[in-house]
Chain A
Amino acid sequence: MIVTPVWYMMLAAALFVIGASGLLLRRNALIMFMSIELMLNAVNLTFVAAARQLGDINGQVSVFFVMVVAAAEVVVGLAIMVAVFRRRASASIDELAELRG
C-alpha cells in the first residue's frame, strides 16, 4: 500500500478534533492551552502534507511562521496564567468569573 499525503491529512484531522474536544472538555487552563498547541501541530502536519502533494516548498515555510507565532503565544499566555495564579491560586477557568454581569 502506498501512503499518500491524504493519509497524513486524515491523521491531522483526527489530531485537530482531539485538540478541539480537549479544549471544550477540560477545565484546567494549562491543559486547554496544550490542546491549542495540539491543534496548531495538526495544522502544521497538513501544511507539510500539502507541500509534498503540490511539490511546493512554501508549505514548509508557512510551518516555520506558524511555529514562531505559537512560540510567542506560549510565552505571553503562560505569563498571563502565572499572573492570574498569583491572584487567584487556581488554574481552573470556571473560577475566573469576575466579568459576569
Chain B
Amino acid sequence: MTELILFVLFGVGALAGAIMMVASRNPVYSALGLIGTMFSIAVLYVVNGAHFVAAVQIVVYAGAVMTLFLFVIMLIGVDQPEDTTEQLPIQRPAALALGAILLIGFVVVIAAGTLAGSDDGTVVGTVEAIADELFTNWLLPFEVTTLLLVIASVGAIVLAQFKLRDRK
C-alpha cells in the first residue's frame, strides 16, 4: 500500500516535471522541471531497494549536472526567445506522431512480454553490496571510467581555451 502511494505520487511528479521541461518557454523552468523529475526518480529508486543509486542520483544528477546546466543557461542568456519558425513545416506533427507510435510500441512490448525472475525483494543495493560487485567482477570497467572522466575534463579545458588562443 505504501509503495502504491509512493509510486502514484512520485510517478506523477516525474511525468509532470518531464512535461514541464519540454513545454516550458523559459530554459530555467525547463531545468527546474528536470530537477523535479530526477528527485522523483531518486525516490522510486529507494522504493526499489537501490539505496546507493538513489544517493548518487541526487548528488551527481540533481546536484552536479543540473547545476552545470543552470550555469550554462545563465552564461548563454535566458532572455532571448526561441524562434518558433520551423525549417521543415512537417516536423512538429511528425515528431508528435512518432512519439505516440514509440509509446504505443513500448506499452505493447512491455505488456505482452513475460519477465523472468520472481521479484522476491532480495536485491538491496547498499553501498557494501554495490562495492562488492564493482570491485570484483567490474574492476576493469570501473578503472576505465576513471580514464573516461580524465579525458572528459581535459577535453572541456581544451574547448574552453580554444577561442582565447584563436583571438590573439
Report A's interface with B, CB cutoff 8 A.
1, 3-11, 13-22, 24-28, 30-31, 33-35, 37-38, 41, 44-45, 48-61, 63-65, 67-76, 78-83, 85-87, 90-92, 94
Closest chain B residue to A16, Cβ basis: B106
Closest chain A residue to B96, Cβ basis: A21
In the complex where A27-B83, A61-B133 touch, is A75 in contact with B30 (Cβ < 8 A)? no
| Chain B count of residues within 8 A CB distance of the other chain | 84
Determine the chain B residues whose CB is within 8 A of the CB of A87 once the complex forms: 163
Query: Given B115, B120, B159, which contacts A6 in the complex, CB threshold below 8 Å?
Result: B115
Main secondary structure of the interface of B (DSSP, over half): helix
In the complex where A37-B34, A61-B138, A68-B148 touch, is A24 in contact with B91 (Cβ < 8 A)? yes
Query: Given B84, B118, B160, which contacts A82 in the complex, CB threshold below 8 Å?
Result: B160
Contact B76 A55 (CB under 8 A): no
Query: Given A18, A30, A37, A83, which contacts B19 in the complex, CB threshold below 8 Å?
Result: A18
For window 62-100 of chain B, which residues contact chain A by CB distance below 8 Å? Answer: 64-65, 68-69, 72-73, 75-77, 80, 82-84, 87, 91-92, 94-96, 98-99
Determine the chain B residues whose CB is within 8 A of the CB of A45 once the complex forms: 41, 44-45
Contact B65 A71 (CB under 8 A): yes
Contact B72 A78 (CB under 8 A): yes
